[in-house]
Structure 1
Amino acid sequence: MPDKSVQCPRDGRALVLVVEDEMMIALDVQMMLEDNGYRVLGPAGSVEGALRLLEDTRPDVAVLDGNLRGQPVVPVARRLRSLDIPFVLSSAYDIFTFDGSEVLAGAENVQKPVSERRLMAALERVLS
C-alpha cells in the first residue's frame, strides 16, 4: 500500500510522474499506480516530454526509465533533484555508464519487468 502520509492538496493522493518510452510498459505502470491509490502525471515517453510536464506540475515522486530511445534520463533526474522530488528507476540496466549518470546514484531500481510489489514498496520507501 502507498504511504498515506504523503498528501496532495487536491485529493490526498500522491502524484507520480511516469517517464517510460515503451507505451505498453508505461500503461502497465500507470495501471499499477492507479490501482494502489496514486495519481499519475504522464506518462512521458521522452526527456523533452518529461521536462515539459515538470514546467507546469510538481509531482510528489517519479518513476524513471533510465534509457529513453537511446537518450539517458539524466536531464529529468537532474531537474527532479533540483526540485527535491524523489524518484525510483525502472530499468533493465543495473549500472549506468553514460555521462551524468552520477545523478542516478542512490536511486532504487525496481528493475524490468516491473513488479507491482517491488514498485509499491520502493515508492513507499522514498515517500516516507
Structure 2
Amino acid sequence: MATDTSQLEGLRILVAEDEGLIALELETVLQGFGCEVVGPVSRVAEVLRRAGHGDLDGALLDVNLRGEQIFAILPQLIALGLKIIITSGYDDATLFPPEFRDLPRLAKPFDERALRAMCEATFLRSSTN
C-alpha cells in the first residue's frame, strides 16, 4: 500500500492540544501526511494569536485547552476563514454549542485513516485561490 502525501503536502496546520503525548502524536502523524505543523499550542489565547497571522491552511483544535473552552474564540477563527477540525474526548455533538455542532469533528483517540480523510475533506475543499 503506497502512501500518498501529495494532497496534504505543504499545508500549514495549527495544532491546539494541551496533552503532551496527544500533541506529539498529532504532530508526527500530520508531518507524515506532508503537513507543516504550527505549534502545538496549549492555550486559547495562543490559538487566536497564531490564527491572526493568516498564514494557516487549517487547524486541529482541542475543545478544552488548560481549562478554557475553544468555543469562545471559534466565531473569530471562522471569520478569519480558518478551516477547523474540532478534536475532543467526547463524540457527542450535543455537548457542543448548537452553532458549532456542524463543524468537522474527530473523537480521541484518533484513527490515522480517519484523521487523514477528515484533513483532506476539510483543508482541501475550495483551497484553490
Alignment of 1:67-86 (within 5 A): 67-86=64-83
Q: Which residue of 1 aligns with 2:112?
A: 116
Q: Distance between the aligned counterparts of 1:35 and 1:76, measured in 2?
A: 29
Q: Which residue of 1 aligns with 2:44?
A: 47
Tell whether the 8 Å contact from 1:15 to 1:61 is kept in structure 2 after alignment. yes
Identity of aligned residues (%): 32
Q: Which residue of 2 aligns with 1:27?
A: 24
**Structure 2 residues without counterparts, runs of 5 or longer:** none
Q: Distance between the aligned counterparts of 1:110 and 1:3, measured in 2?
A: 22
SS for the counterpart of 1:119 is helix
**Structure 1 residues without counterparts, runs of 5 or longer:** 7-11
Tell whether the 8 Å contact from 2:5 to 2:32 is kept in structure 1 after alignment. no
Aligned residues: 120
TM-score, length-scaled by structure 1: 0.81
Partner of residue 62 from structure 2, selected from 56, 65, 71: 65
TM-score, length-scaled by structure 2: 0.81
Moved more, 101-110 or 36-45: 101-110
Aligned AA (2:24)? L
Q: Distance between the aligned counterparts of 1:96 and 1:112, measured in 2?
A: 17
Q: Which residue of 2 aligns with 1:104?
A: 100
SS for the counterpart of 1:90 is strand
CA separation of 1:64 and 1:103: change in aligned 2, threshold 3 A: farther
Aligned AA (1:113)? P
Answer 1 or 2: higher relative contact order, Cα 8 Å, separation at least 6.
Answer: 1
CA RMSD of aligned residues (A): 2.0
Tell whether the 8 Å contact from 1:2 to 1:120 is kept in structure 2 after alignment. no
Runs of 4+ in 1 over 6 A off after TM superposition: none
Pairwise CA distance, 1:92: 1.1
Is 2:78 the partner of 1:95?
no
